[in-house]
C-alpha cells in the first residue's frame, strides 16, 4: 500500500487522516500533516451482498433500440389530439399510461400541453392511439430581399489592409 500524499510505500500500519477536508491513507510521516483522523468502514463481504440482492425482486430490463431523428417535431395542438384519440378508444388516462408505460401525471400534462413529449414518448403515443404526432421540421425560406446583395468592408479587413501596406514599405 502506498501513501496517498507522498507516494512512498507504507511500512507498518497505515494512518487514516483528514488533510484539508480530504480523507487520506498516509504513512507515519505524512500523518503529521493531518488535522483529524477517520476510521475506514468495515468491508462488506460478497456473501452479504448476495444475501441482500436475493431479497430484492428482479425486473426484466427491456431495452429497445429506437432510431432517434433530430429532424422531427411534435405538431401543434398535440394535447387535444391525444385526448380525443384516447377518448375514442374508450381509455382513461390511467389505462393509457399503463399501456405505454408512463405515469398518469405525464399523460395529463401532455393533454393540457404543459409538457411537450420527447420523440420516444411521442412515438409510443402514436403507436398506442393510432395518430400522427411527429412531423418533419421544415426550414422557412428566407426571402431574397433579406439576402445581402452587396457586402460592406469590415473594420478587420481595413486593419489588415493597412498592416499589409506597412509591411511592404
**Taking residues 48-75, what's their average pLDDT?**
59
Residue 44 lies in a domain: no
Is 0.75 surpassed by the pTM of this model?
no
Q: Whats the size of the chain, residue-wise?
A: 169
Q: Count how many domains the chain has.
A: 2
Residue 148 CA to its chain's centroid (Å): 40
- What CATH number should be reported for the domain holding residue 101? 1.10.260.40
* Residues 97, 141 contacting (CB under 8 angstroms): no
Residue, of 113 and 71, whose pLDDT is higher: 113
DSSP type of residue 29: T
pLDDT of 162: 82
Residue 95 pLDDT greater than 60, yes or no: yes
User: Are 34 and 86 in a shared domain?
Assistant: no
User: Are 35 and 76 in a shared domain?
Assistant: no
Residue 22 lies in a domain: yes
Residue 130 lies in a domain: yes
Residue 51 lies in a domain: no
Strand partners, 72: 136
CA separation for the pair 107, 96 (Å, rounded): 8
Residue 103 pLDDT greater than 90, yes or no: yes
Residue-range definition of the domain harbouring residue 102: 72-136
Residue 151 lies in a domain: no
pLDDT of 64: 47
What's the pLDDT band for 89 if we cut at 50, 70, 90?
Answer: very high
pLDDT of 110: 93
Residue 163 lies in a domain: no
Which has the minimum average pLDDT: 32-36, 96-100, 103-107?
A: 32-36
Amino acid at each position: 500500500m502506498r501513501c496517498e500524499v507522498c507516494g512512498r510505500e507504507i511500512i507498518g500500519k497505515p494512518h487514516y487522516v483528514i488533510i484539508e477536508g480530504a480523507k487520506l491513507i498516509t504513512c507515519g510521516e505524512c500523518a503529521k500533516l493531518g488535522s483529524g483522523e477517520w476510521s475506514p468502514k468495515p468491508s462488506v463481504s460478497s456473501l452479504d451482498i448476495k444475501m441482500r440482492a436475493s431479497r430484492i425482486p428482479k425486473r426484466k430490463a427491456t431495452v429497445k433500440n429506437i432510431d432517434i431523428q433530430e429532424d422531427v417535431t411534435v405538431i401543434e395542438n398535440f394535447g387535444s389530439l391525444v385526448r380525443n384519440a384516447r377518448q375514442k378508444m374508450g381509455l382513461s388516462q390511467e389505462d393509457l399510461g399503463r399501456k405505454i408505460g408512463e405515469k398518469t401525471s405525464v399523460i395529463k400534462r401532455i393533454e393540457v400541453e404543459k409538457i411537450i413529449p420527447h420523440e420516444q414518448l411521442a412515438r409510443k403515443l402514436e403507436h398506442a392511439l393510432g395518430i400522427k404526432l411527429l412531423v418533419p421540421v421544415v426550414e422557412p425560406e428566407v426571402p431574397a430581399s433579406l439576402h445581402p446583395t452587396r457586402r460592406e468592408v469590415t473594420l478587420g479587413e481595413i486593419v489588415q489592409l493597412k498592416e499589409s501596406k506597412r509591411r511592404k514599405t
